[in-house]
């Protein structure tokens, strides 16, 4: 696919994400999704985590008896429990993407390591389904 791509039609970009997620100041406005836990597009978790954020925030806001700052504090505390796990799950593929920039490592990985891992997964699946 890469060799068939027309020059000038593909791009790369650096991706930044925090080492760890921390609480942020809020009063009547808060953050959700990539605004608070940006994730590389390597695990497919960014949109789903943002949806979980939105659902949790909406559920909190439907409790009219509570003050908005209290609802936002609870939302933030909940989000800081589940979002760091999703961000951590998205990080390992970035490590391999960086390593695969090296042509030798890429060739070894694609010709030896990945096929071996595929065979190991298939064997585990067969043994599990006996």
Does residue 110 share a domain with residue 95?
A: no
Does residue 70 share a domain with residue 118?
A: no
Q: By the 8 A CB rule, do 39 and 45 touch? A: yes
Per-residue pLDDT at 80: 92
Per-residue pLDDT at 58: 94
Per residue of the chain (130 residues), give pLDDT as tens: 777 888 878 766 666 667 778 888 888 889 898 888 888 777 778 888 999 999 999 999 997 677 888 899 999 999 999 998 888 888 887 777 777 778 888 788 778 888 888 899 999 989 988 8
Per-residue pLDDT at 81: 92
Asked whether residue 128 is domain-assigned, the answer is yes
Does residue 105 share a domain with residue 95?
A: no
Asked whether residue 86 is domain-assigned, the answer is yes
Asked whether residue 34 is domain-assigned, the answer is no
Q: How far apart are CA 14 and CA 40, in angstroms?
A: 10
- Mutual angle of helices 92-99 and 68-90, in 10-degree steps: 40
Q: What range defines the domain where residue 60 resides? A: 42-99
Q: How far apart are CA 123 and CA 20, in angstroms?
A: 37
In 3D, which of 104, 92, 54, 89 has the Cα closest to residue 75? 54
Q: By the 8 A CB rule, do 90 and 43 touch? A: yes
Per-residue pLDDT at 105: 82
């Amino acid at each position: 696919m890469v060799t068939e791509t027309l020059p000038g039609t593909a791009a790369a970009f650096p991706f930044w994400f925090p080492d760890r997620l921390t609480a942020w100041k809020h009063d009547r406005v808060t953050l959700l999704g990539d605004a608070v836990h940006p994730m590389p597009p390597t695990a497919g978790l960014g949109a789903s985590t943002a949806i979980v954020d939105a659902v949790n925030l909406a559920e909190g806001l439907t409790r009219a008896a509570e003050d908005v700052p209290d609802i936002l504090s609870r939302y933030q505390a909940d989000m800081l429990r589940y979002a760091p796990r999703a961000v951590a799950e998205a990080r390992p593929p970035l490590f391999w993407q960086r390593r695969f920039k090296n042509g030798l490592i890429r060739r070894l990985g694609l010709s030896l390591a990945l096929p071996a891992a595929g065979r190991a997964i298939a064997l585990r699946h067969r043994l599990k389904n006996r």
